[in-house]
Amino acid sequence: MPAYASGPADEFLQEMSTLPRGTTAAEVAQHLLAHFGTGPLSTGDRVPPERALAEKLGVGRSAVREALAALELLGLVEVRPGAGTYVRGTTSDLLPKTLTWGMLLGEHDTQQLLEVRSALEVEAARLAAERADEQAIGLLQDNIESMREALPDVQKTIPIDYRFHVILVDSCGNTLTADMLRTCRTLLSIWMDRALSSVADAVESLGEHEKILRALEKHDVEAAEQAMRAHMRTATKRLTAQM
């Protein structure tokens, strides 16, 4: 492991304050984000190691790790295996809007974000029922089969479950809807990785995906809307149960 250089990172640590007991990864991300905007670190500087941040903030290393993962998804930091985490410049036109939303600020804002995500997913399903071509349908069919094969390993099903929604929205023919959904998923990423917490959850989600796929195969717009709306209701319940 490379030696850890002093400098801006040390100053950054000095600015940190101990957080209350029970602080979540989302709150750690918010705390770090506030200091990235006003602190001594600039593009290319190394962020203090997980252990140093955890000790200074008084939280577990897992909370710091999840917070940095969320910041990486937003394009604010870059995690280099074996070399540490580094501040990077903004790379997405959506990032300023993402930050004004108040990234991961709290339960109330998260609930609103879930509502927006659900509405966009239903609209994407409606459009996909009209516009999805044979290639997209084939990719969704392969995805369903991959999820069946991954069971009963819940952790293996999570990225496959996520991929189903990516394929679907990419087939809807509306790039703005796709971009907005990606932003929603990024903001929800800390919790979405926990959305399937049991084999029963994964099996339920698979069944819901199968209903959506059947509607898309028939290009049945109404059935696709209904199936996705039902899926969003149960998916949102699973997600909020983990918060």
Cα distance between residue 235 and residue 211, in whole Å: 14
Cα distance between residue 141 and residue 97, in whole Å: 35
Indicate the pLDDT class of residue 148, thresholds 50, 70 and 90: very high
Cα distance between residue 236 and residue 231, in whole Å: 8
Q: 79-126: per-residue pLDDT in tens?
A: 888 889 998 864 343 344 444 444 444 445 678 888 999 999 999 999
> Which segments of the chain are extended strands (E)?
77-80, 84-87
In the chain, the percentage of residues whose pLDDT exceeds 70 is 85
The CATH number for 106-241, chosen from 3.40.50.11540, 1.20.120.530, 1.10.275.10, 3.90.950.20, is: 1.20.120.530
- Angstrom CA distances, 48 to 64, 88, 162, stand at 11, 14, 31
Can you read off the two tokens belonging to residue 4? 């850890």
For the chain, give every domain's residue range: 8-87, 106-241
**Collapsing DSSP states into helix, strand and coil, what is residue 48?**
coil
In the chain, the percentage of residues whose pLDDT exceeds 90 is 47
CATH architecture of the domain with range 8-87? Orthogonal Bundle (1.10)
Whether the predicted model's global pTM rises above the 0.75 cut: no
Can you read off the two tokens belonging to residue 113? 């974000």
